[in-house]
Amino acid sequence: MAKTKAICLLFLAFIPALAQPRQRAVVSPEVHADRRVTFRLEAPKASEATLFGDWMTVGDKLPMTKGDDGVWSVTAGPLEPSIYLYSFTVDGLTIADPINPRIKLRARTSATMVEVPGDPPALWQIRDVPHGKVEVNWRKSQALDGATPWIWIYTPPGYERDTRRYPVLYLFHGSNDTAAGWTTAGNANFILDNLLAEKKAVPMIVVMPYGHAVPFGSPREIQVTNTDVFEKYLLEDVIPLVESSYRVAPDRQNRAIAGLSMGGGQSLTIGLRRLDLFSSIAAFSAAVPREMETAFAEVLGDAEGTNSKRKTFWFACGKDDSLFERSKQLDDLLTAKRIKHTFRPSEGAHTYTVWRQYLGEFAPLLFQ
């Protein structure tokens, strides 16, 4: 009996080893002191593996080398300080790095992130300063037929301890992104924390809703209605939630609207349609509506009236971005129509590297 019991105990102790195969101590990504980064992938049965990172030109790839231990590797850089997105393609299948927990969620598929820190810490990096909070709100939407999308909301340091009312920036993500994007990849909360610590910005609440009011991947003829449906969702669900649940100053002088890519197009469209609700507009690498001059003929034709209602009209785009020409055409149109604005061409492409920079430049202009 004692011998049988001992055998049972030995077998039970052995079960975890059977259930959890031994993991090789592979490190990926590994950021070196010279800002080069080594990426590794354990795939002993694969015949080909490549790496793509968003610091590269779309379509390019870095071939990975397979070691005798079945681990593929490649070293990139040196890279400028930033947070980069990357993925592997293994025998034709594109995947996120399976051992890196820092995942960039998307509406469809995912990638992985690697941070190359700056010295001293950049504006988007976490610093030893007072930090605000980011809350995830869930609210059933009447405008979206009962769907319950998430809304990420940043409140500045000290929000819980005072009684004042705060201005609000409504900040939109891009196509195939999620409401989490501006926090998990854009570091918007750390950017605001650091600007506030440097006394370069006014304390504000930042509201980051889910921008795919029409499900991502829907047929093209349905997708073109996304901005209209999103506007309905913003006005009927998001703003009422914010103004009933947070201490905000509920007037147009204390509301701003901004976004990147698809969200930049949304901010331009909704901001110009609703001059009565928003006092400032920004668009980062925006999908500028193609029929701006006809769609907004009344607004553009009344420069004096439009300029009197708009405190800040700011947009930017990287010169290597495929959307740069649309931003340049918008600049030309607004100049011709005598609409006051700031156009900020920059280096860079369609990535969070430039969008973090733009938020750091635009936020200090708000609510002054």
**Tens digits of residue pLDDT in 9-31:** 444 444 454 444 455 689 999 99
Q: What is the DSSP letter of 248?
A: B
CATH at 140: 3.40.50.1820
Q: 348 vs 4, which has greater pLDDT?
A: 348
Q: Are residues 106 and 153 in the same domain?
A: no
Residue 5 inside a domain? The answer is no
Q: Are residues 240 and 337 in the same domain?
A: yes
Q: How far is CA 114 from CA 28, 63, 111, in A?
A: 9, 19, 10
Q: Are residues 88 and 228 in the same domain?
A: no
Contact 205, 133 (CB under 8 A): no
Round to whole Å and give the CA distance between 284 and 352: 10
Residue 210 inside a domain? The answer is yes
Q: Kind and range of the H or E element at 317? A: strand 312-318
Spatial CA neighbour of 26 closest among 77, 70, 64, 63 = 70
Query: What pLDDT does 25 receive?
Result: 86
Round to whole Å and give the CA distance between 117 and 298: 47
| Backbone phi and psi for residue 343, each to the nearest 5 degrees, phi listed first | -110, 125
pLDDT-derived band at 164 (thresholds 50, 70, 90) equals very high
Residue 181 inside a domain? The answer is yes
Spatial CA neighbour of 86 closest among 64, 109, 55 = 55
Q: Are residues 78 and 205 in the same domain?
A: no
Range of the domain at 296: 133-365
Q: Are residues 89 and 154 in the same domain?
A: no
From 3-12, 62-71, 93-102, 284-293, the region with the lowest mean pLDDT: 3-12
Residue 299 inside a domain? The answer is yes
Query: What pLDDT does 223 receive?
Result: 80
Residue 26 inside a domain? The answer is yes
Q: Are residues 198 and 288 in the same domain?
A: yes
Q: How far is CA 157 from CA 46, 132, 204, in A?
A: 49, 4, 10
Contact 292, 318 (CB under 8 A): no
Q: Are residues 242 and 151 in the same domain?
A: yes
Q: Are residues 109 and 150 in the same domain?
A: no
Q: Are residues 105 and 35 in the same domain?
A: yes
Domain end position, chosen among 83, 116, 149: 116
pLDDT for 43-84, tens place per residue?
999 999 999 999 999 999 999 999 999 999 999 999 999 999
CATH at 36: 2.60.40.10
Spatial CA neighbour of 31 closest among 60, 53, 2, 9 = 53
pLDDT for 98-146, tens place per residue?
999 999 999 888 999 999 999 999 999 999 999 999 999 998 999 999 9
Q: What is the DSSP letter of 161?
A: G
Domain end position, chosen among 116, 148, 170: 116
Domain end position, chosen among 84, 116, 148: 116
pLDDT at 7 over 50: no
How many structural domains comprise the chain? 2
Round to whole Å and give the CA distance between 116 and 358: 19
**pTM listed for this prediction:** 0.91
Q: How far is CA 296 from CA 252, 261, 302, 333, 344, in A?
A: 20, 19, 10, 11, 22
